[in-house]
Amino acid sequence: MLTFRQDFIRFAIRCGVLRFGEFQTKAGRLSPYFFNSGLFSDGAALRELCQFYAQAILASNVEFDMLFGPAYKGIPLVAGTSIALAEQGCNVPYCFDRKEPKDHGEGGSTVGAKLRGRVMIIDDVISAGTSVRESIGLIRAAGAMPCGAVIALDRMERGQGALSAVQEVRQNYNLPVVSIATLDDLLGYLRDRTEMVQNLKAVQAYRDRYGVNND
């Protein structure tokens, strides 16, 4: 496991973003853990979060020319990640979309740099894949090429079929999806902590019941 993955799990728990208990998912399942990236809600937390995004991107070795953040959650993420990458010597342009295209001033449906070349999509999670699908359409319509997507946590949980939302994106769009951490990384973290043995048992049981096979 790459060191930053364990560090990210620890960071998410410390910020209260990753919690343990009993939580109902959108699919109606009772999950023993809950991840809410919206709780990275102050400057220090956002700065550290985006440093993890930058590390994951650079470790992936996926070639890219710029970053794109889908509104709304992707907006602070793409701006912060571009800063974190620049601090590591990788200065690239970024942009994000508007929910409602602007017909005055500079106009258009995006803000920031013009979409061009190989575009990396920055988002928090992939649930139904809607945000990524819309981003891919917007990028291609501008004559650019989506080259990958980066998310914070891959729950590795199947949807209605045998595949997870992340696997469906990979399969349907032939697009690499990079995650800072996965459910298996979380299990690895829990195995090293005897005080969290009950959480480990609950998360492992959930993984056994709803999880997908590794790619």
Per-residue pLDDT tens for 56-112?
A: 999 999 999 999 999 989 999 999 999 999 999 999 999 999 877 655 445 578 999
Put simply, whether the predicted model's pTM sits higher than 0.85 gets the answer yes
Which residue is catalytic, options 26, 73, 99, 104?
Answer: 104
The pLDDT assigned to 106 comes to 54
CB 165 within 8 A of CB 127: yes
Neighbouring-strand partners of residue 18: 35
Q: Which two tokens stand for residue 197?
A: 């043995």
102 annotated active-site: yes
Task: Give 73's contacts (C-beta < 8 A, 6+ positions apart).
Answer: 37, 38, 123, 124
Question: Would you give the distance in Å from CA 96 to the centre of its chain?
Answer: 15
Q: Where are the domains of the chain?
A: 3-210
CB 92 within 8 A of CB 65: yes
CB 49 within 8 A of CB 40: yes
Which residue is catalytic, options 26, 102, 114, 201?
Answer: 102
Class of domain 3-210 as given by CATH: alpha beta
Task: Give 209's contacts (C-beta < 8 A, 6+ positions apart).
Answer: none
E strand or H helix at 178: strand 177-182
